[in-house]
A and B are shown apart, each in its own frame.
Chain A
């Protein structure tokens, strides 16, 4: 028998229990289903819908509203996750796996390749006395395995180190940098010319024994991450560009990144 006093109170309690809000972090977006998975302090809520004015992003910290006891909707995104940062930052250095020095001269005009005693060393440009023209081809491991999946790269700096040489060259010389897409160059005589693709990049000047690093062009980084670029070549036929590079940290690539927490 209906109770005219108690029933309205029970209905209110029932509504209150079925309409509730939670705070959580988006962990997955199902584009086909247009729904979200939200982690609310360990309680995983799936099938969460959003309104048109909100564009969900994984790791967004949001308020969600439960309607009717089972249907969840996003109320909105909070400006900052309470009690925690929304991303963490990291960096990793990727060194060349090896380098191959490619050269030719007036007396031996075919290209030859060999590996220097210093695995990062070689010369670029034309030696003014011996008339050798050199190029250094740096091979790198694949970049994506060096980064956490989901990372956003915020910077990628490549380092060059100029070494002293019997012929000093000009006081300031630029690395003349190309991309390449080869994984190995057969060592020996009569090899192909130095591999290069795309445009040349002259990042800046180096004095003798100076170490400097420069931000890699983003298009190069994209190609490198995608695997269409395998490494870089320092190559020029010009006397004014002659210099020797090598030693520890030469050709190191420093990747800075952020990842959602």
Chain B
């Protein structure tokens, strides 16, 4: 009977993409969007220069 051979099955998983990489992979320029919303059927983004309204704090 031969010697047992230990097999190194350790596999280094690929690094998770950064948020910017993930946004690029969805087809958007991360510098030009402030949010990306992914649903089962579509992906849409909100532009970085979206005109944000002022929300007055409640008294």
- Do A151 and B45 touch (CB < 8 A)? yes
Knowing A55-B24, A147-B42 touch, does A152 contact B55 (C-beta < 8 A)?
A: no
- Do B39 and A215 touch (CB < 8 A)? no
CB of A56 closer than 8 Å to a CB of B:
yes
- Do A144 and B39 touch (CB < 8 A)? yes
Measured CB to CB, the residues of A under 8 A from B are 29, 31-32, 55-59, 144-145, 147-156, 199-203, 214-218, 221-222, 225-227, 257-258, 260
Chain B residues contacting A225 (CB-CB under 8 Å) are: 37, 39, 44, 46
Chain A residues contacting B24 (CB-CB under 8 Å) are: 29, 31, 55-58
- Looking at the assembled complex, report how far the CB atom of B9 sits from the nearest CB atom of chain A, in whole angstroms: 21
- Do A32 and B46 touch (CB < 8 A)? no
User: Which of A57, A154, A155, A226 interacts with B28 by CB under 8 Å?
Assistant: A57
How distant is the Cα of A147 from the Cα of B43 in the complex, in angstroms?
Answer: 9
- Do B46 and A218 touch (CB < 8 A)? yes
User: Which of B27, B34, B35, B39 interacts with A57 by CB under 8 Å?
Assistant: B27
* Mask of B10-25 contacts with A, CB within 8 angstroms, 1/0: 0000100100111011
A226's nearest neighbour on chain B, judged by CB, is B37
- Looking at the assembled complex, report how far the CB atom of A151 sits from the nearest CB atom of chain B, in whole angstroms: 5
A-B contact pairs, 20 of them (CB 8 A): A29-B25, A31-B24, A32-B14, A55-B20, A58-B27, A58-B28, A144-B42, A145-B41, A149-B41, A150-B27, A150-B43, A150-B44, A151-B44, A153-B45, A216-B53, A218-B50, A221-B46, A222-B37, A225-B46, A258-B47
How distant is the Cα of A231 from the Cα of B17 in the complex, in angstroms?
Answer: 33
A34's nearest neighbour on chain B, judged by CB, is B21
Chain B residues contacting A56 (CB-CB under 8 Å) are: 24
Chain B residues contacting A257 (CB-CB under 8 Å) are: 44
